[in-house]
Chains A and B, each alone.
Chain A
Amino acid sequence: MLTTSITPGARFVDPVVLSRIGNLELVARYVVDGFINGMHRSPYFGASVDFAEHRGYVAGDDIRRVDWRLYARTDRFYIKEYEADTNSNFSTLLDVSRSMGFGSRGVTKLEYAKMLAGCLTYLVHKQRDRVGLVAFDSDIVEHVPPSAKHMDVVLHTLDKLKPSAPGSLRAPLHKMAEHFGRRGLLVLISDLYEEPDAVLEAIGPLRFRGNDIVVFHMLDPAELDFTFDSPSAFEDLETGEQIPIVPEALADQYRSLVRAHIDGLQERFSANRIDYTVVNTSQPLDHALFSYLTTRERLTRVR
C-alpha cells in the first residue's frame, strides 16, 4: 500500500508492506531510489577539488600542499586542505537480541531494523563507499567487514538474522572497537534497553576511535504508547521474567519513564556529537531515512 506523505517529493511506504517483500535488496532499492547521490560526504580531509580550510604548516607536511599564494601574501606557510571526497567505511551495528523480535503491528523491530540497515547499505553502496555489517546480541553474532564488494553479503547476512539471545551493548561494542581500525561511519541500530550512561559508555570506544556514529533507537509503538488494556502477566522477552501488570494503572508512569529515557539518551548523544534518531516502527521506512539524511546533510554543512 502506498501512502502519500505530507513531505513533498518523498514516498513513504508502510513498513508492514515492505516487510512482505522478501528480497531485502529490492526493498532497499525501492526505498533509496530517488534520494540524491552525493549527499554523503567523506569524514576525511584530503586531496580533493573541494577546498575545506587552511592550517599552519607543521614539520612533516607535504610541501606540495603549501599554499604558495598565501605564503606570498602573508609570508607564512599554510597548508591548503580539501574535502577528501574519498571512499569511506560504512558499517551497520545491528542489535539482534530477543527484545528486537518484538512487534505489535505486524512488523518486528528487527525486521524494521533489517530493512533500515539494508536501505542504508544500499544507499551508501551507491555512493561507492565500503559497506559492512556487525550483528550482535550479548556477543558478536555476524561480522561482515566493510568492503565495496560486500553489498550482497551484507544484504544476505541481514536477511538471515534472527533474534536468539539476550542482548547487551557494552561487551560487543567494545569488542568491535578493537576491530574497526579505520575510521568510518557506524550506524548503531538497537532498542537501547540500557541506562543512557551505560549506552554512552558502551559506544565510547567506537567514538574515541574517530568513528562517526549514528544511533537509530528502534521502538515499537506499543513500547512508546503502552496501549495495553487488559491486566496481564508481562514477560520479559530476554529474561523470561513475568510480572502481573494492570496497564491502565501504570501506563502514564511507563510513558513518562520511556520519555525520560529517550530524553536522557538525546541529551547525552547531543553532548557527544552523536546523531540520535528515535525510530517508530509504525512510521514509514523512508520517512526515517529521509529525516536521518536531512539531519546528516545539515550537520555536514555546519561542519
Chain B
Amino acid sequence: MSFLTPLFLVGLAGLAIPVIIHLIQRERKNVVHFPSLMFLQRIPYQSVQRRRIRNWPLLLLRLAALALIVAAFARPFFRRAELAQAAAQGAREVVVLIDKSYSMAYGDRWSRAVAQAHDQIGKIGPTDRASVVFFSSGADVALRSTPDRGRLNAAVNVGKPGSGATRYGPALKLAGSIASESALPRRDVVLISDFQRAGWQGAEGVRLPDGVTLIPIAIGDSDTSNVSVTPVSLQRSTFSEQDRVTVTGGVTNHGSKPVSNLEVSLEVDGRVVETTRVSAEPNSSASVTFAPFTPAGRDTRGAIRIANDALPLDNAFFFTVSPKEPVRIVIAQRPGAAADSNLYLARALAIGEAPPFDITTRSVETLTPDVLQRASVVIVNDAPIAQFTAERLGGFVAKGGGVLIALGDHGTWPAATGPGDILPAVPGQPVDRTTGPAARLGALEYGNPIFEPFRAPRTGDFSGARFYSYRAATPVKDAQILARYDDGAPALLERRVGNGRVLLWTSSFDLRGNELPLKSVFLPFIHRMVTTLASYAERPSWLSVGDVLEAAPGAPVPGASRQVVPRVVLTPSGERVTLDGEGPDVLELAEQGFYEVRGQGRDAAPPRTVASNIDLAESDLTAMDPQEVVAGVMGRAGGAAPAGTNLTATDLEQERAQRIWWYLLFAGVVVLGLETLIGNRVSRKGPIPL
C-alpha cells in the first residue's frame, strides 16, 4: 500500500480531537462554583474519570470516520507489483490488437510488433484464452478466443502491414465485444501499435466494458523521417481540340531534416513522362507542376512517384484521367418551326465545360433508332409527337435515356399505351395568363436534383419570371410534380420509366410563353435538367483505401441495359473478385494502386479503372501518448504497462486507476452518519456522548 499524498496522514492526529473535545473543551465551557472541593479532592484522580471512555462504540466510530477521511485524502493505492500479486489468480481473456496500418511498415516496426504479440501470447496461462485482431481503418478477427498458443502465434505470423490508415475506434469496439462475451474473470485488451496521432480522433464513442483493462504497447521510434507525395491537382485545358491535363503534385517532408533534390516522376500509363527535382524543408511541403499531357483514352492511368524511403507506401500517388465525354443531346422540333425556336435552349446548352454538351437539332420526324442510340438526352421542343415516335422514345427511355418535353403551344402526345406511355401528365388546353397578373413559378421541389442547387437563399430566383401561357396538365399516377405555378397548376413533372426518366415542361423554352429564358436561372436550370436526365456524375480521379467501389456502373451507357450484370474486379495485387449480385454488391478498396472493373456478357460496359490511394494522413508518424487512448476508452488512465515496455505508469496514474480514496471517503461519510445517529440517541439519554 502506498500513498500519493502521505503528508495528509498527519491528519491522523485529528483522532485526538474527540477526546480533547470531551476532556478539555466541554469542561472549559462549563465551570461550576462549588463551596469547597474538600471532599472532591479526596476522591482519587482516576475516579474522576477524565480519561474514562464510557461509550466505546461511539468513540470508535468517530475515530474510524476520521481515519477513513484522512486516509482518503492521503490517496492510497497499490503499486502494480502489489496488484499483480493480489490479482494473480483467475483466468484471463486477452484480446491482442495488432496495428497493421501501413505506417507499421516503417523500419522494423512490424517485426517488433509481432515479437510483442508473441510475448503477450506467451504470457497466457493454460486456463487463459486469447484472440488476435488485426486492425487499420477496420478490424478483422484473425483468431477468436482460444487457449492454443500455437494457433495464436500462427495467426500473428500471417499478418502483415496493409494499406489502411490507423483507426483505433473499430478495433477497440471489436475488442470490447470479444471481452464482453467472455465469462473469464479477468479481461485484458493488449493494443500493439505505433500510436499515431492521426489515428485517434478523441474517444470516438468507444468505451470498453467495465472490468476490461487496456494495456497499450507502443511500437514507436523516437526519431522518424518520412517523405510522402501529396494528392495531385488536375487542370484541364484544350489545345488543338484536344483535351490536355496538367498535373501538379507535391511532396511533404514529415521529418526533422530538410530534403533536397528529391526526384519526382510523373508516370502515364506506366511510362515515365517527366521527372523533376524538389526540395522540402522539415515539416513542410513542396509542389511541382508537370508539363500537360493528353489522355490517350478513357481511364488513362497516372502516377506520381518519389524515391523509396523507410515507408515506401506513401511514395506514390495514383490517379486516372479521361478525355471529356460530352452529353449528347438531340433537340427535336416540329417540322417547319422557326429557326430561332430553339435559340435560348441551344445557347444555354452551348455553354458548359463540366460536362460539355453536344447538341444536334433535327425534326421530330427524324428521330430514328440510330439517332436515339447515340443520344443521351432528347429534348422535344414544342412539337407534336406521332405514335411511332412516342414508341421509339419510350424504348429509348426504358434503356436509360432521358427525354425532356416542352409542350409549348403545339406539343401533343398520342394517347398511347405500351412503350409510348411515358408522359408524366396528360396535356390539356392552353391557359392564357396575359390578362390579369401573369403566372409565376411557386412551389418548387428542392429535394429533387434539378432544384437542389437552388435550395439556398440567393442561389436562383424562379419567381421573377412571368408566365403568360402554359398548358394544363393532368399528372399520371406515378408522376412527380417538381414545380407548380402560383395557381397550383403543374409546371414541371417527372416520371421514371425503366432505367430512364422523362421531364414534362408545360410551358416553352422561348419568349412566347414566358420570360424565363431571360432570367439568370434559365441556364443552370436547363443544365440541371439535362444532366439529371443523362444521369451524369463526375467521376473522381482517385479513391482512397477504405472507400467502397460500387458494382453498378457509375455513368450510364446510352442505350445499354442497366441491369446488374456480373462484374469482375482486378485488384492491384492481381486478385480477382467477382461481384455477381449474389454476394455483396460493393468492394472495399484495401490496396493501393489501380482497380480494374470489367463487366461480363454481351451488353457489358467497357472496362473501368479506379485509382486507389492510401490515406496520406498516415504518413505523419507523429506519436501520441498511449494513455490518451487508455483514458478515452476506460474513462481513466489505468492500463497496465507490462514490464519491458517503454511505458511506465506513474503513481498518479495508478492511483487514479484504482480510486481507493473514493471508497474510503464514502465509507467515512457513512460512518459519520452512523455516528450521528448513535450520538443523537446517546445524547437523549445522557449529556455525555463519550
Q: Give A residues with C-beta under 8 Å from B.
A: 99-100, 102, 109, 191, 193, 220, 223, 228-239, 241-246, 248-250, 253-254, 257-258, 261
Contacts and interface: CB of A to CB of B under 8 A. Distances in A.
B47 A250 contact: yes
A104 to B, nearest CB: 10
B43 to A, nearest CB: 5
Contacts of A248: 686, 688
B36 A238 contact: yes
B48 interface: yes
Contacts of A245: 32, 40, 48
Contacts, number: 95
15 contacts: A220-B35, A231-B22, A232-B31, A234-B31, A234-B40, A236-B34, A236-B35, A237-B35, A242-B31, A243-B40, A243-B41, A243-B48, A244-B23, A257-B42, A258-B39
A102 B48 contact: no
B47 to A, nearest CB: 6
A231 B27 contact: yes
B36 A99 contact: yes
B81 interface: no
B50 A244 contact: yes
Nearest to B32: A232
B222 interface: no
B38 interface: yes
A110 to B, nearest CB: 11
B688 A244 contact: no
B35 A191 contact: yes
Given A249-B47, A249-B48, A233 B32 contact: yes
Contacts of B22: 231
A231 B43 contact: no
A245 B40 CA distance: 8
Looking at chain B's contact residues, is the secondary structure mostly helix, strand, loop, or mixed?
Answer: mixed
Given A237-B34, A244-B50, A231 B42 contact: no
A135 B619 CA distance: 111
Given A102-B33, A244-B48, A193 B38 contact: yes
B32 A228 contact: yes
Contacts of A99: 35-36
Interface in B1-34: 22-23, 26-28, 30-34
A65 B532 CA distance: 166
Contact of B687 (A191, A229, A239): A229
Given A235-B31, A248-B688, A254 B37 contact: no
Given A244-B27, A248-B688, A257-B42, A234 B32 contact: yes
A249 B49 contact: yes
Residue of A100, A250, A261 ringed by the most chain B CB atoms within 10 A: A250
Interface of B: 22-23, 26-28, 30-43, 47-50, 52, 686-688
Contacts of A100: 35
Contacts of B47: 249-250, 253
A261 B686 CA distance: 30
Nearest to A220: B35
A246 B50 CA distance: 7
Contacts of A239: 37
Interface centre among B22, B26, B35, B43 (most CB of A within 10 A): B35
Contact of B35 (A223, A243, A249, A253): A223
A238 B33 CA distance: 10
Contacts of B48: 243-246, 249-250
Given A193-B38, A249-B52, 15 more contacts: A100-B35, A102-B33, A102-B34, A191-B35, A191-B36, A231-B27, A233-B27, A234-B40, A236-B36, A237-B34, A246-B50, A248-B686, A248-B688, A250-B40, A250-B47
B33 A237 contact: yes
A103 to B, nearest CB: 10
B40 A246 contact: no
A140 B591 CA distance: 122
Given A246-B49, A246-B50, A249-B48, A235 B33 contact: yes
Nearest to B38: A193
A246 B28 contact: no
Contacts of B23: 244
Given A234-B40, A254-B43, A246 B34 contact: no
A254 B37 CA distance: 10
Most buried by A among B36, B43, B688: B36
Contacts of A241: 37
B541 to A, nearest CB: 94
A75 B263 CA distance: 174
A261 B34 contact: no
B30 A231 contact: yes
B37 A233 contact: no
Contacts of B31: 232-235, 242
Given A244-B27, A244-B48, A235 B34 contact: yes
A230 B30 contact: yes
Contacts of A232: 27, 30-32
List the 10 closest A-B pairs by CB distance, nearest first: A99-B35, A232-B30, A193-B36, A102-B35, A249-B49, A257-B39, A232-B32, A236-B37, A230-B687, A244-B27
A233 B687 CA distance: 15
Contacts of B40: 234, 243, 245, 250, 254
A52 to B, nearest CB: 43
Nearest to B23: A244
Nearest to B42: A257
A249 B50 CA distance: 10
Contacts of A102: 33-35
A220 B31 CA distance: 18
A93 to B, nearest CB: 18
A241 to B, nearest CB: 6
B39 A261 contact: yes
Contacts of A242: 31
